[in-house]
Amino acid sequence: SKEIELDFVKKVLRVAGRIGIKIESSINHIIQLFLDILNSNKKESSLINDIMISMQLFFRKYDKSKFSEIFPLLFPHLNDMLEPRAKTAAIWIIGTFAPLISNSIQMIESKCKNILQEDREVQLQLLTSAIKVFLFYPNECKEMIIELLSKCAENVSIPDVRDRAYIYWRMLSQDANLAKSVILGDLIPIKEKVDTFSIINVDEMVGRLGSVSCSLHKRPEELYIGYFIPTILLIYHLLIQEIIN
């Protein structure tokens, strides 16, 4: 069949993103996979959602110079995200790399108009990214940020969003330069714990794929008391049958 198994491809992209965070040497292969999808004539918006989520994590962990080839291909899709996590990732990219995106002001303004209709995590990220764009372009975004902070403080029902709006408002009114150094400061790179297993354990797990012990990355004897008893009873039963026969 020539039809794309969409769910399978989405799972592949998610796993590829997790591998990219844990194993730096795999990044070039994963970026090439993302490039193939972005350059495809039949790319699905749901796949681009997963790519955007992974790319946000990559940008947070690695130097952006690693992604010079894929970076421009993401820009046309920043407004097309449908899933909340993908929206959050796209908005984070707009705010973090606003000087590199020619229409970042227009993009963030259009998203701020609909902030009341967004989910909590999207609202929080949109507020932060809008503040970042304002700090990059204070003269062009002054009216936008006043309107946004007022809207979040007065009309948003979510306490976390409302409190963050008040915090930003206070920071900007007290010392704009200090606020800029804090909000636009360097991000702490994310870290992923890499689990390692002995060859013996891996071989045993492969032989028990689909079992509870494999899912928990444990040997059966570490989970079940008396795990070997059924095996011993089976051997005993076979010996008895051999003797009888």
Using 70 as the pLDDT threshold, list the residues of the chain that sit under it. Answer: 1-4, 41-43, 192-208, 210, 213-214, 217, 219-245
- DSSP annotation of 190: P
What separation, in Å, do the N-terminal and C-terminal C-alpha atoms of the chain show? Answer: 54
Angle, CA 61 vertex, CA 37 and CA 115 arms, to 5°: 70
What is the pLDDT at residue 229? 47
Whether the CB-CB separation of 177 and 164 falls below 8 Å is answered with no
Cα angle at 223 between 220 and 229, to 5 degrees?
A: 60
pTM of the predicted structure, to 2 decimals: 0.73
Q: How confident is the model over 79-130, as pLDDT tens digits?
A: 778 889 999 999 999 899 888 888 889 989 988 888 888 899 999 999 999 9
pLDDT digit string, tens, across residues 145-159: 999 999 988 888 889
The length of the chain is 245
Q: Is the dihedral of CA 152, 153, 156, 162 positive or negative?
A: positive
The pLDDT of residue 2: 42
pLDDT value at residue 123:
92
